[in-house]
Homo-oligomer: A and B are copies of this chain.
């Protein structure tokens, strides 16, 4: 059983929107604004590669939540950090990394919790604010919209598999908060980050929006072996996947790649060829 299947078992308890979007939403200011929030648990065994420093672990943990805020088109305001510490001397560098990433995104670390734990575990919660009209979710993609992505999907996975030159993409991912806001203001119809991998993110967005995707044969691949596999299935990147009506794309002035088009039929295709629904997932045996 993986985490997506497990999530199905509690959808009726929490709600469909609540279990499919990256962030929880709370309208305020008479419905003119939305407070978005998200929480992410990372821990040593499955999330922090060897050779990663505690500072980088703190940075990556904050980045995981800040990236979800970015994918709503929101400006992050605050981050809370709960640390289950195996070794007390790690707290300071972990928090320095978390604070550095949070500040780089224009927010502040506003508190947290400290716990002793056999396995280093970091749980970050981030909040952000976005005007209702610019608030993006995974639903809203419409047939005919362009499909776009920021950054170079596959970079983090490439680093994890030993390709040189991509280590920083893996251990110091940059949440695309300012880019996310510009994409949202340009008129994106749906947005999410690709931290679980591009292919599974497309499937998730397709399900939430009730659409499918056809990708172009010419993709912005990395100059490495098996580049297409890394592009489609590699996890750990914090680029943004979004859809946008064709006529609104011209107003964009951020670095993005158009990788395909939204279609009515469900599924994800690369030209004629079906793309597998594979990506990062926690698995319980």
Please give the residue numbers on chain A whose beta carbons come within 8 Å of chain B beta carbons, in ascending order.
1, 3, 6-7, 9-10, 13-14, 18-19, 21, 23-26, 28-29, 35, 37-43, 45-46, 77-78, 80-85, 87-88, 91-92, 95-96, 99, 109-119, 121, 123, 125, 127, 282-284
Contacts and interface: CB of A to CB of B under 8 A. Distances in A.
B24 A80 contact: yes
A77 B39 contact: no
Contacts of A19: 111
Contacts of A116: 3, 46, 282-284
Nearest to A5: B88
16 contacts: A6-B88, A6-B114, A9-B92, A21-B111, A24-B80, A26-B78, A37-B80, A37-B125, A38-B111, A39-B81, A40-B113, A43-B117, A88-B284, A115-B282, A116-B283, A121-B121
Q: How many copies does the complex hold?
A: 2
Contact of A13 (B46, B88, B99): B99
Contacts of A88: 1, 6, 284
Contact of A113 (B10, B41, B127): B41
A43 B284 contact: no
Contacts of A110: 14, 18, 24-26, 37
A55 to B, nearest CB: 12
Nearest to A25: B110
A112 to B, nearest CB: 6
Contacts of A39: 39, 80-82, 111-113, 123, 125
A26 B128 CA distance: 11
A203 to B, nearest CB: 18
A46 B92 contact: no
B29 A87 contact: no
Contacts of A111: 14, 18-19, 21, 23-24, 37-39
A91 B99 CA distance: 31
A41 to B, nearest CB: 4
A80 B6 contact: no
A37 B78 contact: yes
Given A110-B24, A114-B6, A282-B114, A41 B123 contact: yes
